[in-house]
Amino acid sequence: MQLSTLTVLFCVVITSIACQASGTSTKPIAPRVAALSPEENQNMHERNLMLVERAKDNADAKLVFLGDSITQGWDGGGNEAWTREFGAYDPLNLGVSGDRTEHVLWRLAQGSYDHLKPKTIVIMIGTNNTGHRMDPPADIAAGVEEILAQLTQRFPEAKLVLLSIFPRGESAEDPSRLNNDAANKLLLGIAKQRGVESLDLTRAFTDAKGTLVKDLMPDFLHPNARGYDVWANAIRDPLKRWMQ
C-alpha cells in the first residue's frame, strides 16, 4: 500500500526535527588531507625504530637533517661528504626512505626526538607526496607548514632551514617536476612568513635548459656520491652562518 503525500511529508518533517534535536548536520564533511594526517611509514618501521635509538645516542647533535630517501642517502653514497663537511657539527641524519609529509608528522608526534637540542634543523620533504600520489601543491605545502609548526614548538631554540624540494624528472616539463615546482613556490612564501631560512638548490643539479644532470642524479631523483658533494658544497657557506 502506498503512503499518501501527507504521510510522506509528515515523515520528512519528523526526521528533520529528530536530526536537529540530535545535532546531526547535513553539512558536508571536509575531505581528509592525507599530507596533513600523521601516519607511520610502515614499510620503514625498522628504520623508524633505529632512528629513535640513533637520536638517543646522539643527544648532543647540533645539526639535524630531516627528510626522505634523499636525506637518508647521506648514510650511503653521501657518507664521505657528510663526514667531511658536517662532522664538526655533531650531525644527526633522520631521513627515512619513502617518507611523505604525513610520515614526518607521525615521527615528530611520537616525541622520540624531543630531547634533542640542535642549533640547526635542515628539512626537505614532499617529493614522495608528488611521486606516490601526485598530491596537489597546496596539500604538500600545508603538510610542510605543519612540520615547521611542530618543529618550532618542539625545538624553539633551533634555526629551521627549509630546502626546496629537489628537482625530479629529466625534463623541466616533467609533470612531477612541475608539481614540485608549484609546491616550492608556496613553500618559499611559507618560509618567509614564518621567518624560516630557505634555500633552493635546483640550479645546482640542472643545466641551463633545466634538464636534470644525469651524472649527479642517475635516476633523475636521487643524488649519487657526486650529487651529495654538490649538495654539501652548495650549503657549506650558508651552514657556517646557520650554525653560529
Tens-digit pLDDT profile for residues 142-182: 999 999 999 999 999 999 999 999 999 999 999 999 999 99
CA 64 from centre of chain: 14
Residue 63 belongs to some domain of the structure: yes
- Backbone angles phi and psi of 76, in degrees to 5: -110, -105
Mean pLDDT of 188-216: 97
Residue 29 belongs to some domain of the structure: no
How many H helices and E strands in the chain? 10, 5
Least confident of 15-29, 55-69, 93-107, 109-123: 15-29
Residue 12 belongs to some domain of the structure: no
Q: What is the DSSP letter of 55?
A: H
Residue 26 belongs to some domain of the structure: no
Residue 30 is predicted with a pLDDT of 62
Residue 13 belongs to some domain of the structure: no
Residue 150 belongs to some domain of the structure: yes
Query: What is the rounded distance in angstroms from the CA atom of residue 10 to the CA atom of residue 239?
Result: 72
Query: What is the rounded distance in angstroms from the CA atom of residue 161 to the CA atom of residue 148?
Result: 9
Closest CA to 51 of 99, 7, 100: 99
Q: Please give the order of strands across the beta sheet that includes 91-95.
A: 91-95, 63-67, 120-124, 159-163, 197-199
Using a cut of 0.85, tell me whether the model's pTM lies above it: yes
Residue 11 is predicted with a pLDDT of 44
C-alpha cell, 187: 613553500
CA 197 from centre of chain: 15
Residue 89 domain boundaries: 42-242
Residue 53 is predicted with a pLDDT of 98
Residue 24 belongs to some domain of the structure: no
Mean pLDDT for the chain overall: 91
**CATH value at residue 159:** 3.40.50.1110
Q: How many residues does the chain have?
A: 244
Domain count, the chain: 1
Residue 221 belongs to some domain of the structure: yes
Cα-based torsion angle of the residue sequence 86, 87, 89, 91 in order, rounded to the nearest 10 degrees = 80
